C-alpha cells in the first residue's frame, strides 16, 4: 500500500519563479490498484511521481510505502522496489548494452555478458516472444538500435521482471505513433493485470484513462479534484470527465496533448 499524506512541494521558493507543484496532496493507493491519472498541463502529475520515486524530498508531508516511511529515503534505494517508465523511450534502458545485458541487469543477474547463463537466456526469450516484436531474435544487439515502441516494451518488461511494489507510468506511450502506442498500452494492461501490480499511470488519453485500471484521479494545481472508482466510473464517458473537470476546477481543461487526442 502507498500512502501520501499532505505532501507539499514548492519549486524555486522565494524567487519570481516560485511554483507550488503539489499542495497538501493526499492519496491512499491499495495493493493491486491500477489508477489512471489525468489533469491539466502543469497540474503536478510528474511531480507526484517524482515524490513517490524520491527524486526530491517534499517540503511537507509523508510517504508510506508498504508500512515503511520512505519520505527521506534516497531514490536509488526506492528504485529497487519502484518500476518507472517515462514519455521518452530513451530513458529506462542502457543504449550501449545489448537486449540480454539490459534484461540481465533488470533481473539482478549482473548485466555483463559473462554472467548471463543459458537458463537466463531461455527465460528472457520466453518473456520477449509474446511481445510479437521479434526482440527475441535480437538479444545480442545494442538497445540503441531499437525503435521507440520496442524500447518502451523492453523497458516495461524490465520494470516488471521482479514484481515492483509500485509501477509508475508517466505518459509512457505519448511519444509513440498511434498503432505502436496501442500495442504498448495493451501490453501494459496485460502485465499489470496478470501480475496484479499496483500501478499509477499518467495518460493524456482520456478514453484510455477510463478503459484501463480500476480508479481514475484528476489533478489540478497540485491537488486531486476528482477521484472515481467502482460503479460511478463504469458509466463515465470522456465528455463526463471534461464536465467533471470544469465543475471542480472552475474552468475548462487545458492540456494540449489531451485535447489533441481522440
Ligand X SMILES: Nc1ncnc2c1ncn2[C@@H]1O[C@H](COP(=O)(O)OP(=O)(O)OP(=O)(O)O)[C@@H](O)[C@H]1O
Q: Give the list of residues 6+ apart from residue 1 with CB closer than 8 angstroms, or none.
A: 28, 29, 30, 31, 64, 65, 66, 67, 198
Closer of 18 and 190 to ligand X (Cβ): 18
Residue 255 binds to Mg ion (criterion: CB under 5 A): no
Residues 2-41 that bind ligand X (CB under 6 A): 11-12, 19, 21, 39, 41
Considering only residues 46, 102, 155, 180, which one is a binding residue for Mg ion as defined by CB under 5 A?
46
Cell numbers at 87, concatenated: 514519455
Residues 187-246 that bind Mg ion (CB under 5 A): none
Residue 36 binds to Mg ion (criterion: CB under 5 A): no
188 close to 153: Cβ distance less than 8 angstroms:
no
At residue 190, what are phi and psi to the nearest 5 degrees? Answer: -60, -50
Give how many residues touch Mg ion by CB under 5 A. Answer: 2
Query: Minimum CB separation from ligand X for residue 45, in Å?
Result: 3
Residue 47 binds to ligand X (criterion: CB under 6 A): yes
Give the x/- contact pattern for ligand X in 165-194, rule: CB under 6 A: ------------------------------
Distance CA 209, CA 36 (A): 5
- Residue 161: CB atoms within 10 A of its CB come to 18
Residues that bind ligand X (CB under 6 A): 11-12, 19, 21, 39, 41-47, 255
Amino acid at each position: 500500500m502507498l500512502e501520501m499524506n499532505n505532501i507539499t512541494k514548492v519549486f524555486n521558493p522565494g524567487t519570481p519563479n516560485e511554483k507550488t507543484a503539489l499542495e497538501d496532496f493526499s492519496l491512499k493507493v491499495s495493493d493491486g490498484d491500477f489508477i489512471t491519472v489525468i489533469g491539466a498541463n502543469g497540474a503536478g502529475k510528474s511531480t507526484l511521481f517524482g515524490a513517490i520515486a524520491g527524486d526530491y524530498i517534499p517540503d511537507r508531508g509523508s510517504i508510506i510505502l508498504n508500512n515503511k516511511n520512505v519520505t527521506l529515503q534516497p531514490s536509488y534505494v526506492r528504485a529497487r522496489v519502484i518500476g518507472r517508465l517515462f514519455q521518452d523511450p530513451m530513458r529506462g534502458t542502457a543504449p550501449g548494452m545489448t537486449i540480454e545485458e539490459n534484461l540481465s541487469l533488470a533481473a539482478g543477474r549482473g548485466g555483463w555478458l559473462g554472467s548471463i547463463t543459458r537458463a537466463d537466456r531461455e527465460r528472457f526469450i520466453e518473456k520477449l516472444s509474446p511481445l510479437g516484436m521479434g526482440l527475441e531474435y535480437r538479444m545480442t544487439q545494442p538497445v540503441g538500435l531499437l525503435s521507440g515502441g520496442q524500447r518502451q516494451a523492453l523497458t516495461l518488461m524490465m520494470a516488471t521482471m521482479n514484481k515492483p511494489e509500485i509501477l509508475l507510468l508517466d505518459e509512457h506511450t505519448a511519444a509513440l505513433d498511434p498503432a505502436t502506442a496501442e500495442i504498448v498500452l495493451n501490453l501494459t494492461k496485460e502485465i499489470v493485470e496478470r501480475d496484479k501490480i499496483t500501478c499509477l499511470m499518467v495518460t493524456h488519453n482520456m478514453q484510455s484513462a477510463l478503459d484501463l485500471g480500476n480508479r481514475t484521479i484528476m489533478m489540478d494545481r497540485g491537488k486531486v479534484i476528482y477521484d472515481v472508482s467502482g460503479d460511478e466510473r463504469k458509466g463515465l464517458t470522456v465528455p463526463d470527465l471534461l464536465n467533471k473537470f470544469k465543475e471542480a476546477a472552475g474552468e475548462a481543461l487545458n492540456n494540449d496533448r489531451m485535447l489533441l487526442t481522440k
